[in-house]
Structure 1
Amino acid sequence: MYLSMLKLNPRSRQVQAELRDPYQMHRTICKAFGVDKEAWKEARVLFRVDESNEGRMLRALVQSAIKPDWSRITAPDDYLLTEIQCKDVAPVFKAGQRLAFRLRANPTVKREGKREGIYGEMERLEWLNRKGEANGFFVQQARVISDGKQKGLTTRGCETVFSAAVFEGVLVVTDPDAFRAAFESGIGSAKGFGFGLLSVALVK
């Protein structure tokens, strides 16, 4: 697996446009893996934009199964503030391991065949607990540090609204194989819109 960090320029018009329509940022990022959509699928790209200092600092984290070639992306000179950093990551997961985590997700539930957003802190934490049970981890502690709605455009150009929540906390690995699969493929839906990337670090 590879993890890249892109420091985005919040004053860039393209960055601003992609924040309004995150799927366009997904398309920009995926160009680092070629122009073929099959190559995009093989790369299993996940990304998340983290903001700090009231949006004055933007960092896009990109996780992929294939090493990206960032020279392929087409973006104006003011798109990035610094050179892109990329490193090879090979985490080892063990049963009973405690990991600090951060996850930006799109909590949803299916009702009568339709996917609906989940709102409310308790309901979102319950959703996270269910995801843990299904993906080899137990949520020891968690909080929703940011929530709300995010608009975007589907591939057909239709406007859609996502339930956006950022979770932070500590989890315990219960099934290393299931957890690795979730770590590599992401948690929840709408991954092409910047959701699903699970970042973890050992709890000392």
Structure 2
Amino acid sequence: MTYLSRIRINPLRAHSRTLLANPRAMHAAVTGGITSTPDDERILWRLDADNPHRPHLYVLTQSKPDWTHLIESAGWPGADGEHAAVRDYTPLLSQIAAGREFAFRLTASPVQNTHTPTKPTPTQASHLADGTPGKRPRGLRMGHRTAAAQLHWFLTRTEKWGFTIPASRTDQPAPGLDTTTAQPTPDEPRLRDPNPAREVRITERRRHSFTKTGKGPRVTFHTATFEGRLRVTDPAAFTDRLLGGIGPSKAYGCGLLTLAPLTGQKG
């Protein structure tokens, strides 16, 4: 069985500030909520801080978690309301079908493999210089840093993830108001845009940099949060990505794709 949890985080508490600033610390807190060891199951999580005063932590687990430790150290243990909502994921998975549309959110770490980094670090330059003579060394995994590159990374991979992003729904201008484009005649239909705008936008972009144990080499990666509308094309591949995550850096809060029903859509 699979469970999706939503935990309220109090950003004013000392422990909360540590968790919010360091994905490694948050990962440790998340794994502390399940009885199995981290290697026994895939855990996905994402921190949503649209409202910095009321951030929420979302976690997907295969076993039923207990978030008491997070509520007591980083939440509002004595306040009213639902501190940690834990829901069975089965009802959502049963709705996955070809052609079904959902609103979605995903924080991912868009990356590329390259042999020609623009400004390689000494370590990267050494890696590219080493290797067996006559054999090309393995490329470096580097994060996309611009919004355009991050969006391209996302849109060119949705098909293998089992969904597509529909073209944006825009209304045609009222007759007589469109003075910049000639209207097509019955014998000359409007040409289809080969690259239409899509129902997706990047709502947040961040650079993360931290050390694993307070010392040693730093872990650095870039993230982008995508929101929009998707249409399922391959239910099996899509379900696999829902449960297994998308892209790298999953231990640090990337890869969790969450869905919501669209307004006016049943189910």
Amino acid at match of 1:22: P
- Paired with 1:152 and 1:173, the residues of 2 have a C-alpha distance of 36
Question: Which structure is larger by alpha-carbon Rg, 1 or 2?
Answer: 2
In the TM superposition, 1:31-180 aligns within 5 A as: 31-34=32-35, 39-53=37-51, 55-71=52-68, 73=69, 77-81=72-76, 83-90=83-90, 91=92, 92=94, 93-112=96-115, 113-140=139-166, 141-154=199-212, 157-180=216-239
Structure 1: runs of 5+ lacking an equivalent: none
Count of residues paired in the alignment: 198
SS at match of 1:44: coil
SS at match of 1:66: coil
Question: What corresponds to 1:199 in structure 2?
Answer: 258
- Paired with 1:76 and 1:101, the residues of 2 have a C-alpha distance of 27
Amino acid at match of 1:48: R
Structure 2: runs of 5+ lacking an equivalent: 78-82, 116-138, 167-198
Q: CA deviation at 1:202?
A: 2.5
- 1:159-185 deviation per Cα after TM superposition (whole angstroms, max 9, x unaligned): 122111110011111100000000101
- 1:58-90 deviation per Cα after TM superposition (whole angstroms, max 9, x unaligned): 10011111111334x4x5844112532211111
RMSD: 1.9
Structure having the larger proportion of residues in strand: 1
Rate the CA distance shift 1:46–1:157 in 2: closer, same or farther, 3 A.
farther
- Paired with 2:73 and 2:26, the residues of 1 have a C-alpha distance of 15
Question: Any runs of at least 4 consecutive aligned residues in structure 1 with deviations exceeding 6 A, and if so which?
Answer: none
- Paired with 1:189 and 1:154, the residues of 2 have a C-alpha distance of 17
Amino acid at match of 1:44: R
TM-score using structure 1 length:
0.89
- Paired with 2:67 and 2:206, the residues of 1 have a C-alpha distance of 31
Q: CA deviation at 1:131?
A: 2.5
Rate the CA distance shift 1:144–1:76 in 2: closer, same or farther, 3 A.
closer
